[in-house]
Amino acid sequence: MQQCYIVRQSYTYGENGDRINPGRVWDFVENIEDTSFDFGIMPRQQFIEKTIRIRLEAAGVKLHSPCKCVNIEKTDEPDADGYYITATLRDMTTREEYTVKSAYLMGADGGRSFVRRHLGVEFEGNTTQDKWIRVDGRVITNLPTPRNYGSIQSANHGNVLWEPLDHGATRIGFVFTEEQERRCNGNLTEEELNTGIHDAVNIGWKLALVVKGKAKPTLLETYSIERRAAAQGLIAFDRKFSTLMPNKWPEDMHKVSYEDINAALADLFDEAQGYNTGLKIAYEPNLVNVVPAKDYTSICVGARAPDAGLFKPGLTAVSTTLNSAGHFRSFFSDTAKLDTIVSADPKLSAEEGLGVPAFGTVYMDDKRQAHSRYGVNLRYGSLVLRLDGHLWFAAELSVAGLEAVKMYLGKFIISKMGIQQKTY
Ligand SMILES: Cc1cc2nc3c(=O)[nH]c(=O)nc-3n(C[C@H](O)[C@H](O)[C@H](O)COP(=O)(O)OP(=O)(O)OC[C@H]3O[C@@H](n4cnc5c(N)ncnc54)[C@H](O)[C@@H]3O)c2cc1C
C-alpha cells in the first residue's frame, strides 16, 4: 500500500497557535504496540478500492460492475441445487437483466442498502443535524508541523483535525453544527471503511468455508455476534466524539470532571484508540473463541493476538511476525498448518533447541519476546490457535493437547481438514 502517507507523530495547537504539550487526540499514533505496522496512515478510499479491484482481478475474480440488484426472491426450501435465493441483477452499462441463484445473499450495498430494505431488516441507529466536513487538498499553511497529525483547538469551530494524505495533500476535518450553519442538515454518522473491512474479513473466511462445504453453517452465526458488538462500541464512541468535536458536551459525559472540553475529547480518543488501530477489538467467547481448561497463554480468547518478531533457524533478520497473514491463508488450504516456535538461538536446529522433533515450520524466538508476550510457559509450551488474527483456542503442548485442538476444530469444521505434521 504505497498510496498513502505514513505518520508517527502528532501535535496539538491551542486557539492562539501555541503548541499544547503533551499532545492530545492523535497522540495514540506515538504509542502503537503489538504490531509491526506501528504508524498511522490515512489511505483514501479511492486507492483502497482500486487496490482491492486489482487484487481481485489477479486472483481471477470477475467483478460485475456497474451492476444493480433490482429484485430478490427467497424460498423457505432449497431448489434441486440447494439454492434459496434468486437475485435479479441489472447490468448498468447494457441495461440487460439477468438472474443469479445462490444459497446465501450478503447485503454489502451501503447505508441505503436495497438488500436490507427489500428483506425488511430494520436500520438501527440515530441521526444528527451536525455535519462532518472534510476538505482534501494541497494547502498553503504556516502550521509548523504540516506533515504530522494535528489537532487544532479553534475558538469557533471546535476541534479541527489535520491529517496528511498521499501526494502532498492534506485532509482537514471538523464538525459543522446547526448553530454554525442553519442551512446545513444531514445525517452522516462516522462509520469508516475500517469497520467495513473488519466486517468483510470476519464474514469472508466463514462464508468461504461454509459454501465450500468445509464448515458447518452455524459458524456464520458468530459473524453477527462478533461484529454487532464491535459496531455498537464504535457507534457509542462516535456519538460522543461527534458531539465533543464542535465543543458540545455529550449527555452521558460528566463535564464537572473536566476543566477543559478538549481534555474530555483527548480522554475519549485514548479510550477508543483500539478502534482506530483495530488492535483492541476483542470478541466474546462463542463457537470459535473457546476458553481453554487452563491458562495456556495470557492472551484472552477472542482478543486480537499481538505481533511478535520471529527468526527462521540460522537467520538473524526477522523472518515473519507471529500474526502475519500467511498463517491465515494456510487455513484456506485443506490443512490447518502448524508452526513451532522455539525459544532458542536461531543458530540451533529446532530439534537441538526443543530436544524433540518439531511440528510444521520452525521459527526461533531467541529473546523469548513472543513467549513472553503470549505468556507461554517456557518449560511446557502451549498450542495456540490464532487463525484470523484473533486468538481462538489454546491447549497444552502434548498429544492430549493435539486431540483437544482436533476436538475443538471438529465443532465447526466438517472437511477432512487435518493437522499436518512435517517430519524432519
Ligand atoms: C465524503 C466521505 C468521505 C469519506 N472518506 C473516507 C476515507 O477517506 N476513508 C475511509 O476509511 N472512509 C471514508 N468514508 C467512509 C466510507 O465511505 C464508508 O464508511 C464506507 O464506504 C462504507 O462501506 P460500505 O461497503 O458499507 O458501503 P459503500 O462504500 O457505500 O458501498 C456500497 C456499494 O454497493 C453498491 N450498491 C448500492 N445499491 C446497490 C444495489 N441495489 N445493487 C448493487 N450494488 C449496489 C454501491 O454502488 C456501492 O458500490 C467517507 C465517507 C464519506 C461520505
The predicted-structure confidence for 12-32, as pLDDT tens digits, reads as follows: 999 889 999 988 888 889 988
CA of 192 to the centre of ligand 1 (A): 9
Q: What is the pLDDT of residue 333?
A: 43
Give the model confidence (pLDDT) of 159-193 as tens digits. 899 999 999 999 998 887 765 543 333 333 344 68
What is the percent of the chain with per-residue pLDDT over 70, rounded to a whole number? 86
Q: What is the helix (H) or strand (E) element at residue 233, kind and residue range?
A: helix 221-244
Q: What is the pLDDT of residue 370?
A: 87
CA dihedral sign of residues 73, 75, 78, 84: positive
Rounded to whole angstroms, the Cα distance separating 50 from 57 reads 11
The atom of ligand 1 lying closest to the CA of 188 is 53
Residue-wise over 330-355: b if at least 16 C-beta within 10 A, else e?
A: bbeeeebbbbbbbbbebeeebeebbe
Cell of 158: 471546535
The atom of ligand 1 lying closest to the CA of 192 is 19
What is the percent of the chain with per-residue pLDDT over 90, rounded to a whole number? 34
Beta strands, E only, 14-167: 19-20, 40-41, 67-74, 85-91, 97-102, 131-137, 149-153, 159-164
User: Closest Cα to residue 383, out of 359, 416, 413, 367?
Assistant: 359
Rounded to whole angstroms, the Cα distance separating 145 from 150 reads 8
CA of 110 to the centre of ligand 1 (A): 6
Give the model confidence (pLDDT) of 387-411 as tens digits. 678 888 888 888 888 888 888 888 9
User: Closest Cα to residue 268, out of 297, 294, 248, 292?
Assistant: 248
The atom of ligand 1 lying closest to the CA of 69 is 42
Average pLDDT over residues 257-286: 84
Query: How many other β-carbons are positioned within 10 Å of the β-carbon of residue 372?
Result: 14
Query: How many other β-carbons are positioned within 10 Å of the β-carbon of residue 170?
Result: 20
pLDDT above 80: residue 336:
no
Instruction: Determine which residue's CA is closest to atom 45 belonging to ligand 1.
Output: 109
pLDDT above 60: residue 331:
no
The atom of ligand 1 lying closest to the CA of 67 is 43
Rounded to whole angstroms, the Cα distance separating 314 from 363 reads 10
CA of 127 to the centre of ligand 1 (A): 17
Task: Cite the DSSP H helix spans in 333-389.
Answer: 350-354, 369-373
User: In this structure, are residues 40 and 7 in contact, taking their beta carbons and an 8 Å threshold?
Assistant: yes
Instruction: Determine which residue's CA is closest to atom 14 belonging to ligand 1.
Output: 192
CA of 190 to the centre of ligand 1 (A): 12
Beta bridge partners of 71: 88
Of 192, 201, 203, best ligand 1 pocket probe by most atoms within 8 Å of the beta carbon = 192
Query: How many other β-carbons are positioned within 10 Å of the β-carbon of residue 138?
Result: 10
Q: What is the pLDDT of residue 413?
A: 87
- Pick the residue with more confidence: 212 or 379? 212
Rounded to whole angstroms, the Cα distance separating 343 from 185 reads 59
CA of 275 to the centre of ligand 1 (A): 19
Query: Residue 285, exposed/middle/buried by CB under 10 A (0-12, 13-18, 19+)?
Result: exposed
pLDDT above 60: residue 309:
yes
Rounded to whole angstroms, the Cα distance separating 383 from 369 reads 17
Question: For 238-247, 293-302, 368-377, which range has the lowest pLDDT when averaged over its residues?
Answer: 238-247
Pocket of ligand 1 (CB under 6 A): 44-45, 67-69, 108-110, 114, 134, 191-194, 196
327 — pLDDT class (breaks 50, 70, 90): very low
Average pLDDT over residues 227-256: 83
CA of 294 to the centre of ligand 1 (A): 43
What is the residue-averaged pLDDT of the chain? 83
